[in-house]
Structure 1
Amino acid sequence: MSEQHTDTLRDEDFLRLDGQICFALNAASRAFGGVYRVILKDLGLTYPQYLVMLVLWEHGTTPVKELGNRLRLDSGTLSPLLKRLEAAGLIHRERSTEDERSVSAVLTEAGAQLRARAVEIPRRIAVATGFDLDEMRDLQTRLQRLTAALDAAALEV
């Protein structure tokens, strides 16, 4: 919003729910969650578990600390996810022989094989959005810029 345009808005306009980008993002995130819940049911995964699997399918064995950083999850949230994936036989956790404090998540054979069934998930999500490929890429780029800007702003506050 340009500075000139914001000067013409009344204070109460800034506090309208439908004018809050945070609410629009939250509503979109919840809507995505609903679609993912239905689509991922066939794989037996929740959305957060799917994100863990995406990292492992892409990078292979990954230290739990790095998983948390990549997914923006603290250990209190990540540990139960990993326990459930381990109980499902999709991963196992392995303590480093060099540094006993370091634990890595490792795909099992079943976890690696699940990847073949997951390949269609992004296509199904794209169809659900009604966006074409260029619109999806543009939205992703804008959201990544927004996240970077907000991360930087949080450091200044």
Structure 2
Amino acid sequence: MVGSDATANLSLDSQLCFSIYSASRALTGVYRELLDELDLTYPQYLVMLVLWEHDALSVKELGASLRLDSGTLSPLLRRLELRGLVRRSRTDNDERIVRVALTEDGIEARRRAEEVPQRVLCSTGLSMEQVRLLKPLLDQLTESVVSAGRDATRTQTVS
């Protein structure tokens, strides 16, 4: 007979990962509706957020900020470039480095996106204080899981 503790541990409702997954899907759905008005996908919006904050970055720096590899980032940048929101160029001193910068249309898109965070916050039903408490916990969770993954990879490599 399976013990009640074991059963509880394996119930869907007790899984932290499922709560985070469900919340992520729900939030992404809210963003999708709002970003349709801006003609941006959620991943494109994340790229634009970083560029609105920093203006111009190398693809490597952009990928580090978003925790995306260049294989995932390159198609996003290509679509944003085709839409005229960003411009990619190689640096003069090292052609291997590609810089991404906002165009005038990309800068203008920021103005149109300014209400998105507040509209998302309203849809969560959370207060600003609850968000201020939740975000650092989620950031800590992410860093802990990423670190554990790196440690596991190192352990597997050494074995």
Q: TM-score, normalised by structure 1?
A: 0.92
- Give yes or no for the alignment of 1:95 onto 2:90: yes
Q: CA deviation at 1:155?
A: 2.3
Query: 2:120 pairs with 116, 125, 129, which one?
Result: 125
Query: 2:79 pairs with 76, 84, 90, which one?
Result: 84
Task: Give structure 1 regions of 4+ aligned residues with deviation exceeding 2 angstroms.
Answer: none
User: What is the alpha-carbon distance in structure 2 between the residues aligned to residue 10 and residue 53 of structure 1?
Assistant: 46
Instruction: Specify the alignment match of 1:54 in structure 2.
Output: 49
Percent identity, aligned pairs only, is 51
Q: How many residues align?
A: 150
Instruction: Specify the alignment match of 1:63 in structure 2.
Output: 58
- Give yes or no for the alignment of 1:107 onto 2:102: yes
Structure 2: 5+ residue runs without aligned partners? Answer: 153-159
CA-atom RMSD, angstroms? 1.2
- Give yes or no for the alignment of 1:154 onto 2:149: yes
Higher mean displacement: 145-154 or 119-128: 145-154
Q: CA deviation at 1:145?
A: 1.2
Q: CA deviation at 1:129?
A: 0.2
SS in 2 for 1:100: coil
- Give yes or no for the alignment of 1:26 onto 2:21: yes
Alignment CA distance shift 1:9-1:138 (3 Å)? farther
Whichever residue aligns with residue 61 of structure 2, its letter is E
* 1:36-91 CA-partner distances (Å, limit 9, x unpaired): 00001111101100000000000011100111111011111111100110011100
- Give yes or no for the alignment of 1:42 onto 2:23: no
Higher mean displacement: 15-24 or 48-57: 15-24
User: What is the alpha-carbon distance in structure 1 between the residues aligned to residue 40 and residue 134 of structure 2?
Assistant: 25
Q: TM-score, normalised by structure 2?
A: 0.91
User: What is the alpha-carbon distance in structure 2 between the residues aligned to residue 156 and residue 98 of structure 1?
Assistant: 36
Structure 1: 5+ residue runs without aligned partners? Answer: 1-7
SS in 2 for 1:78: helix
User: What is the alpha-carbon distance in structure 2 between the residues aligned to residue 54 and residue 60 of structure 1?
Assistant: 10
Instruction: Specify the alignment match of 2:131 in structure 1.
Output: 136
Q: CA deviation at 1:152?
A: 2.0
